[in-house]
Structure 1
């Protein structure tokens, strides 16, 4: 997936605006991308966004992943290489893994708001469920059906309906998330997903064997 930036967010917002206005408030989240698309015109405090991190804080190798929940290549990475990386390097204290969402569309943003709803403790577990079910929820139909499937994933993870609705309807949080993603992606020159920053160097998506060799080189082993 290669589309990126404020121009795309603005286009999505304009296209989505009329749709949201025609929908019952109870069926869809508030129109988060409309506000977020123009966040550059207002002051947004992105320091309130929690970084989602696995592994030892002082690990010798830091990997930052930039990924979209609607990106098939990201789902494939999380179903394959990520699991092996976690076992061999993250859980053993050699890699600090930071996951940062990219928002190419409102569906990915909604998925992110569900994943973040229960806090850092459940974030990666919810992300696993979202990626595992991507081919189902992302193709469920229109926005109402898609957000309905995402709600089901949230409930499967133990979130109640009131909590889910509060998270999905938090337009200020949505605006802050999109501004945060744009700041990070511009800093690191992210133009596609998944992309990775390994000890400050940008790396494209690759096989587990290539990641392993790269990490071992950074470890000096």
Structure 2
């Protein structure tokens, strides 16, 4: 008897999703804005488009909720996301959407890194946003002590003004955008990060095998 899509999908809250919060409990931050980065007050931004890759009419939509300070999100971004991108996003088979969900693992940098990333999005495009997000996850261990320097370096490396991005981390002009995403996650009963939804159904894990099977199943159902 063939295995059905629902054999692979389950409501968020399964063992792996709950496990995603393990190690994702955090404290403070001691970094300082880099010298020479006084760019003045940034305008508050209350809304931005959803960071999205892939065609809007794709038969499968993958929604991912992440916290920049969560080590499990770092693992997902470094190991699973590149596989999703090469196999499904780049060929245009799925639509992939990012949601901020600061637990917060780190009381400061779960929020500040998210605001920095939205500043990059606001000034560039979705591709650059996702590249910036991955760069921050790659340097996640430096956030508590060198967070402003991290976001500045990653932004500069992508051709975005790093001082402005660092200032966005400090001033959090995109806080309401991030909070709206967090509310969306709460509405979906996201218990921890990363939380992965495939066509609206939450997965029990975030490993590549789990995500791959779920996406393939949905593509097959779509014909």
Name the structure with the higher helix share. Answer: 1
User: Relative to 1, partners in 2 of residues 1:53 and 1:110: Cα closer, same or farther, differing over 3 Å?
Assistant: same
| Corresponding position: 1:2 with 2:21 | yes
| Corresponding position: 1:108 with 2:107 | no
Tell me, in whole angstroms, the C-alpha distance in 1 between the residues paired with 2:161 and 2:178: 25
Structure 1 segment 22-171 matched on structure 2, within 5 A? 48-103=47-102, 104=104, 105-119=107-121, 120-121=125-126, 122-135=128-141, 137-139=142-144, 141=145, 145-171=146-172
Following TM superposition, by how much is the alpha carbon of 1:148 offset from its aligned partner in structure 2, in angstroms? 2.8
Tell me, in whole angstroms, the C-alpha distance in 1 between the residues paired with 2:95 and 2:75: 21
Aligned-CA RMSD value? 3.2
User: Relative to 1, partners in 2 of residues 1:184 and 1:128: Cα closer, same or farther, differing over 3 Å?
Assistant: same
Question: Contact 1:49–1:180 at 8 Å: present in 2 too?
Answer: no
TM-score scaled by structure 2?
0.71
Tell me, in whole angstroms, the C-alpha distance in 2 between the residues paired with 1:148 and 1:53: 26
User: Relative to 1, partners in 2 of residues 1:169 and 1:27: Cα closer, same or farther, differing over 3 Å?
Assistant: farther
Following TM superposition, by how much is the alpha carbon of 1:71 offset from its aligned partner in structure 2, in angstroms? 0.9
Which runs of no fewer than 5 residues in structure 2 stay unpaired? 1-19, 39-44
Which runs of no fewer than 5 residues in structure 1 stay unpaired? 30-44
- Of 148-157 and 186-195, more deviation after overlay is shown by 148-157
Question: Contact 1:154–1:164 at 8 Å: present in 2 too?
Answer: yes
Question: Contact 1:66–1:99 at 8 Å: present in 2 too?
Answer: yes
Tell me, in whole angstroms, the C-alpha distance in 2 between the residues paired with 1:70 and 1:56: 29
Show CA shifts across 1:139-168 (max 9, x none).
5x3xxx332332222222222255235523
Question: Contact 1:69–1:75 at 8 Å: present in 2 too?
Answer: yes
Which portions of structure 1, spanning 4 or more consecutive aligned residues, are displaced by more than 6 angstroms?
26-29
Following TM superposition, by how much is the alpha carbon of 1:78 offset from its aligned partner in structure 2, in angstroms? 1.1
Secondary structure of the structure 2 residue equivalent to 1:83: helix
| Corresponding position: 1:198 with 2:189 | no
User: Relative to 1, partners in 2 of residues 1:220 and 1:72: Cα closer, same or farther, differing over 3 Å?
Assistant: same
Tell me, in whole angstroms, the C-alpha distance in 2 between the residues paired with 1:179 and 1:28: 26
Tell me, in whole angstroms, the C-alpha distance in 2 between the residues paired with 1:161 and 1:131: 17
Tell me, in whole angstroms, the C-alpha distance in 2 between the residues paired with 1:165 and 1:150: 6
TM-score scaled by structure 1?
0.71
Question: Contact 2:62–2:198 at 8 Å: present in 1 too?
Answer: yes
